């Protein structure tokens, strides 16, 4: 049986990682995800698992590389500036086909920015971030319980596809408290074996973890294999949620915390007689282009709302193309759009 | 007159822990000697099947090819952090990182110092040849004062680029490391000493004693523009003056 | 002195000369023969002087040398 607890988003992610069998967690403290690090510091050692407060985010992601290469479930977490530092390691994880979970509790940027909620790291998360032709699976939870569920899923997807998976949250979700129904911890011994891992070459040929090949033809092959994997992920792992889109004339596209606020705005619009709906991508990579396109075929307007200057908006326009109008409403610097603010944008564009 | 070796004792042959791959190093490069010593150590301690190696970026980037061990090729400078991750995930395995001076003592400074400071139960082989071999002979953090490199064409000027960093001495300041030593390979006696040091650094890990670092003063005949024999003499006469040989930490020896 | 033999793996040898310098008996020398990689490989120019001390093999960076020594009578 599961267990119901009142948790912050940061704590729900931490507790779910533990229940997902995360054996090794490495991180460097940064606001607004400090509670995640502190939760792991309290709980991992008493479970006989590894917690290291690393000397830097660079070191933390490379410890993740080592633990992932050695075949255990592993995670790191940080916030925007720290995630920038991890990009080198994420590229190596992707290139070496290593499963790992990376949490980004996004704060305002660029530079030092501030510690208020933001969605300004969308491009970095879904378009690459580090060097090379790679992707991560990127999951965007919009509630605390969903942050927990997607963390459990992140570990499964990472193992299934041998790829880094990012939980893209924001400072609001990290700090917010909600009741969470926690699942039973998984039995790590029942997880599928990882015969590729570096565990000691006893009675077999050595396993080599690497992202390196000097031969152009070989490196091209490695890249084509990666791309084939990404095609498989695009085919099987797209996730999204539609709310009141069936009869909608205008839909709002939003993810994460903003989707939740937009849901309230949709209800307010409906109360005023505007047939509004919500399309919420859950996987930000792979992005639900096809599903959004199908919705766009039925509506006049697709309004994107984000806490950024319009990053996901680019993917919305890629999906919608000329099928509908694609206005944008964004806030930056830690300003969180309110239901009334979104409602007024909906009213403006629904006419 | 051919001799029938079948009736003789084999006193030296390639270590079983090495693969058949031919090393990619230049003629006379000490990386090969260190590789052989590590292979021989794995043989003698019977560790091959439970050892995981960490290959750096630099001339030793192919280090994952040399041993019959599992290995990870990792980002420049991060080998000690990756070794930490592997060892914490698999505490009963033997983990060694093999790092050059640029990797260990420049770009990886933070990772190197903090792995040592945590006293990770790992073995670090730090190859100090005072130059960046792979990228074309540029200055290393360990490059000697006045030494010409492709990025110090007039010689290293300490007012502009600082002094050669004695990284093992920095590590030796920390509480946790159990064994920190500097060795050389310029003659057979020093090769034998270095062999003992590397064996000890692995044995420490087997015994769960903690962090061991073996710095090896190595040659780079190609980028030093010397013959391998001249390069050996340069280490003996000049390099060891800046980087003195011997144990810096040897706890419970 | 016991009798020794050095066997050179010609294709591994890079002709660096470290073994030549390390040999106390002056057994080894560059042969003037190139291997497939174009290296002037070493050979035992003075094989009778070899005592099987293996200093050459210890210093060889390419594990190109195998050393044998005569079994001494018990």
Quote the DSSP letter at residue B149: B
Domain residues for the domain of A171 are: 3-236
- Do residue B9 and residue C69 have CB atoms under 8 angstroms apart? yes
| Domain containing residue C36: CATH number | 3.30.70.3270
CA angle A243, A246, A252 (to 5 degrees): 50
Query: Does C contact A via 3+ CB–CB distances below 8 Å?
Result: no
pTM score of the predicted model: 0.97
Is A248 found in the same domain as A218? no
In the prediction, which pLDDT does C18 show? 98
Beta bridge partners of B96: B53, B123
B119 close to A (CB below 8 A): no
**Would you tell me how many other CB atoms lie within 10 Å of the CB of residue A232?**
12
Q: Where is C30: in which H helix or E strand?
A: strand C28-34
Of B120, B111, B75, the closest CA to residue B93 belongs to B120
Q: Which residues of A166-195 are buried (b: 16+ CB within 10 A; e: fewer)?
A: bbbbbbbbbbbebebebeeeeeeeebeebe
pLDDT tens figures, B162-206:
999 999 999 999 999 999 999 999 999 999 999 999 999 999 999
* B212-230 mean pLDDT: 98
Our count of domains for chain A comes to 2
pLDDT tens figures, A116-142:
999 999 999 999 899 999 999 999 999
| Closest Cβ–Cβ partner in C16, C22, C68 for B10 | C68
pLDDT tens figures, C9-53:
999 999 999 999 999 999 999 999 999 999 999 999 999 999 999
Is A92 found in the same domain as A117? yes
pLDDT tens figures, B92-140:
999 999 999 999 999 999 999 999 999 999 999 999 999 999 999 999 9
A155 close to B (CB below 8 A): no
In angstroms, the separation between the Cα of residue A16 and the nearest Cα of chain B is: 19
Domain membership of residue C30 (yes or no) is: yes
CA B176 to chain centre: 20
Is A269 found in the same domain as A182? no
User: How far apart (Å, rounded) are the C-alpha atoms in residues B200 and A105?
Assistant: 45
| Closest Cβ–Cβ partner in B55, B82, B93 for A65 | B82
- Do residue B11 and residue C68 have CB atoms under 8 angstroms apart? yes
pLDDT tens figures, A147-200:
999 999 999 999 999 999 999 999 999 999 999 999 999 999 999 999 999 999
Beta strands B179-184 and B212-217: pairing type? parallel
In angstroms, the separation between the Cα of residue B40 and the nearest Cα of chain C is: 11
C57 vs B contacts (CB less than 8 Å): 12
Residue window 168-187, chain B: list those with CB within 8 Å of chain C. 185, 187
Q: Reduce the DSSP state of residue B50 to 3 states and report it.
A: helix
User: How far apart (Å, rounded) are the C-alpha atoms in residues B234 and B229?
Assistant: 9
Is A171 found in the same domain as A156? yes
Of B56, B70, B86, B91, the closest CA to residue A67 belongs to B86
- Do residue A62 and residue B78 have CB atoms under 8 angstroms apart? yes
Domain final residue, candidates A181, A205, A236: A236
In the prediction, which pLDDT does B235 show? 98
Average pLDDT, chain A: 97
CATH for the stretch B22-250: 3.40.50.970
Q: Is A292 left (phi over 0), alpha (psi -120 to 50) or beta?
A: alpha
| Residue in chain B nearest C65 by alpha carbon | B13
- Do residue A68 and residue B52 have CB atoms under 8 angstroms apart? no
In the prediction, which pLDDT does A142 show? 98
Q: Which value, to the nearest 10 degrees, does the dihedral of the CA atoms of residues C28, C29, C34, C37 take? A: 60
Tell the burial category of A160 from Cβ atoms under 10 Å away from its Cβ (0-12, 13-18, 19+).
Answer: middle
- Neighbors of chain B with 3 or more C-beta pairs under 8 Å: A, C
pLDDT tens figures, A90-101:
999 999 999 999
* A284-310 mean pLDDT: 98
CA C30, C33, C35, C36 torsion-angle sign: positive
Domain membership of residue C74 (yes or no) is: no
Is A175 found in the same domain as A126? yes
In the prediction, which pLDDT does A128 show? 85
* A210-231 mean pLDDT: 97
Which residue out of B65, B82, B116 would a mutagenesis test of the A interface target, given it has the greatest number of A Cβ atoms within 10 Å? B82
Beta bridge partners of B212: B123, B179
Domain final residue, candidates A170, A201, A236: A236
- Do residue B228 and residue C22 have CB atoms under 8 angstroms apart? no
* A246-262 mean pLDDT: 98
In the prediction, which pLDDT does A132 show? 97
B5 vs C contacts (CB less than 8 Å): 5, 7, 68
Is A226 found in the same domain as A246? no
| Closest Cβ–Cβ partner in C16, C21, C57 for B12 | C57
- Neighbors of chain C with 3 or more C-beta pairs under 8 Å: B
User: How far apart (Å, rounded) are the C-alpha atoms in residues A333 and B74?
Assistant: 36
- Residue B20 pLDDT class (50, 70, 90 cuts): very high
pLDDT tens figures, A311-337:
999 999 999 999 999 999 999 999 999
Residues 6 or more apart in contact with residue A167 via CB below 8 angstroms: A13, A101, A102, A103, A104, A139, A141, A147, A150, A151, A154
Domain final residue, candidates A203, A236, A269: A236
Yes or no: say if B66 and B18 are a contact pair by the CB < 8 Å rule.
yes
- Domain ranges in chain B? 22-250
User: How far apart (Å, rounded) are the C-alpha atoms in residues C26 and B85?
Assistant: 49
pLDDT tens figures, B48-65:
999 999 999 999 999 999
Q: How many CB pairs under 8 A join A and B?
A: 135
Yes or no: say if A343 and A262 are a contact pair by the CB < 8 Å rule.
no
Tell the burial category of A111 from Cβ atoms under 10 Å away from its Cβ (0-12, 13-18, 19+).
Answer: exposed
Residues 6 or more apart in contact with residue A307 via CB below 8 angstroms: A117, A118, A119, A120, A170, A257, A258, A330, A331, A332, A335, A336, A337
Domain residues for the domain of C13 are: 4-69
Helix B109-117 to helix B79-89 angle (10° resolution) is: 40
Q: How many CB pairs under 8 A join B and C?
A: 94
**Would you tell me how many other CB atoms lie within 10 Å of the CB of residue C33?**
12
| Closest Cβ–Cβ partner in C21, C39, C63 for B27 | C39
In angstroms, the separation between the Cα of residue B119 and the nearest Cα of chain A is: 13
CA angle B196, B198, B202 (to 5 degrees): 115
Residue window 197-216, chain B: list those with CB within 8 Å of chain C. none
| Closest Cβ–Cβ partner in C16, C52, C68 for B228 | C16
B111 vs A contacts (CB less than 8 Å): 55, 58-59, 62
Name every residue in C having a CB less than 8 A away from some CB of B. 3-5, 7, 11-12, 14-18, 21-22, 39, 47, 52, 54-55, 57-63, 65-71
| Residue in chain C nearest B16 by alpha carbon | C63
Which residue out of A59, A71, A205 would a mutagenesis test of the B interface target, given it has the greatest number of B Cβ atoms within 10 Å? A59
User: How far apart (Å, rounded) are the C-alpha atoms in residues A41 and A26?
Assistant: 10
Yes or no: say if A60 and A33 are a contact pair by the CB < 8 Å rule.
no
Our count of domains for chain C comes to 1
| Residue in chain C nearest B36 by alpha carbon | C63
What's phi and psi for B217, nearest 5 deg?
-75, 115
| Domain containing residue A341: CATH number | 3.40.50.920
Is A251 found in the same domain as A172? no
| Domain containing residue A160: CATH number | 3.40.50.970
Is A41 found in the same domain as A10? yes
CA atoms within 13 A on the CB side of A67: 27
| Closest Cβ–Cβ partner in B50, B51, B64 for A208 | B64
ipTM value for the complex: 0.97
In the prediction, which pLDDT does B3 show? 66
In the prediction, which pLDDT does C74 show? 57
């Amino acid at each position: 049986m599961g267990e119901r607890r009142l948790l912050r988003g940061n704590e729900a992610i931490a507790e779910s990682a533990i229940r997902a069998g995360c054996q090794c967690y490495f991180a460097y403290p940064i606001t607004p995800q400090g509670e995640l690090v502190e939760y792991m510091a309290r709980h991992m050692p008493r479970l006989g698992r590894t917690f290291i407060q690393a000397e830097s985010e660079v070191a933390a992601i490379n410890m993740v590389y080592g633990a992932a290469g050695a075949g255990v479930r592993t995670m790191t977490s940080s916030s925007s500036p720290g995630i920038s530092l991890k990009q080198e390691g994420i590229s190596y994880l992707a290139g070496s086909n290593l499963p790992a979970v990376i949490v980004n509790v996004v704060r305002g940027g660029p530079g030092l920015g501030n510690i208020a909620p933001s969605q300004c790291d969308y491009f970095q998360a879904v378009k690459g971030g580090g060097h090379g032709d790679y992707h991560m699976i990127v999951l965007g939870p919009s509630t605390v319980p969903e942050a927990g569920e997607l963390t459990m899923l992140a570990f499964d997807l990472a193992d299934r596809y041998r790829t880094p998976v990012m939980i893209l949250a924001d400072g609001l979700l990290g700090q917010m408290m909600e009741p969470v129904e926690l699942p039973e911890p998984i039995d790590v011994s029942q997880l599928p074996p990882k015969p590729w891992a570096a565990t000691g070459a006893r009675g077999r040929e050595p396993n080599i973890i690497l992202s390196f090949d000097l031969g152009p033809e070989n490196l091209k092959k490695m890249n084509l294999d990666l791309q084939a994997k990404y095609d498989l992920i695009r085919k099987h792992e797209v996730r999204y949620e539609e709310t009141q889109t069936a009869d909608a004339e205008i839909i709002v596209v939003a993810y994460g915390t903003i989707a939740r606020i937009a849901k309230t705005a949709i209800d307010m619009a409906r109360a005023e007689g505007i047939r509004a709906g919500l399309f919420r991508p859950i996987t930000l990579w792979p992005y639900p282009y096809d599903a959004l396109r199908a919705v766009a075929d039925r509506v006049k307007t697709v309004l994107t709302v984000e806490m950024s200057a319009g990053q996901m908006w680019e993917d919305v326009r890629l999906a919608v193309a000329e099928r509908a109008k694609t206005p944008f409403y964004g806030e930056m610097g830690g300003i969180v759009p309110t239901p009334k603010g979104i409602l007024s944008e909906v009213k403006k564009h629904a006419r | 007159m051919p001799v029938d070796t079948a009736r003789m004792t084999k006193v030296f042959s390639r270590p079983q822990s090495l693969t058949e791959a031919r090393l990619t190093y230049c003629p006379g490069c000490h990386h090969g000697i260190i590789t052989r010593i590590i292979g021989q150590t794995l043989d003698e301690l019977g560790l091959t099947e439970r050892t995981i190696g960490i290959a750096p970026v630099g001339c030793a980037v192919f280090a994952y090819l040399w041993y019959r061990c599992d290995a990870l090729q990792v980002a420049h400078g991060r080998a000690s952090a990756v070794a930490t991750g592997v060892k914490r995930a698999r505490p009963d395995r033997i983990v060694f990182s093999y790092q050059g001076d640029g990797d260990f003592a420049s770009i990886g400074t933070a990772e190197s110092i903090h792995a040592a400071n945590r006293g990770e139960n790992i073995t670090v082989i730090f190859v100090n040849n005072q130059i960046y071999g792979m990228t074309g002979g540029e200055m290393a953090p360990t490059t000697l004062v006045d030494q010409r490199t492709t990025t110090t064409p007039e010689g290293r000027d300490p007012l502009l680029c600082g002094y050669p960093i004695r990284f093992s001495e920095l590590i030796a300041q920390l509480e946790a490391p159990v064994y920190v030593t500097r060795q050389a390979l310029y003659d057979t006696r020093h090769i034998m000493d270095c062999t003992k040091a590397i064996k000890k650094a692995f044995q420490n890990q087997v015994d769960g004693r903690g962090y061991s670092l073996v710095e090896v003063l190595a040659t780079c005949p190609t980028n030093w523009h010397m013959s391998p024999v001249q390069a050996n003499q340069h280490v003996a006469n000049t390099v060891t003056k800046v980087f003195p040989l011997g144990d810096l930490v040897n706890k419970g020896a | 002195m016991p009798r020794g033999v050095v066997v050179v793996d010609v294709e591994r040898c890079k002709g660096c000369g470290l073994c030549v310098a390390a040999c106390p008996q002056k057994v080894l020398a560059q042969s003037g023969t190139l291997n497939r990689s174009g290296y002037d490989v070493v050979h035992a120019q003075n094989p009778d002087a070899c005592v099987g001390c293996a200093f050459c093999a210890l210093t060889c960076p390419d594990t190109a040398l195998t050393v044998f020594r005569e079994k001494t009578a018990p």
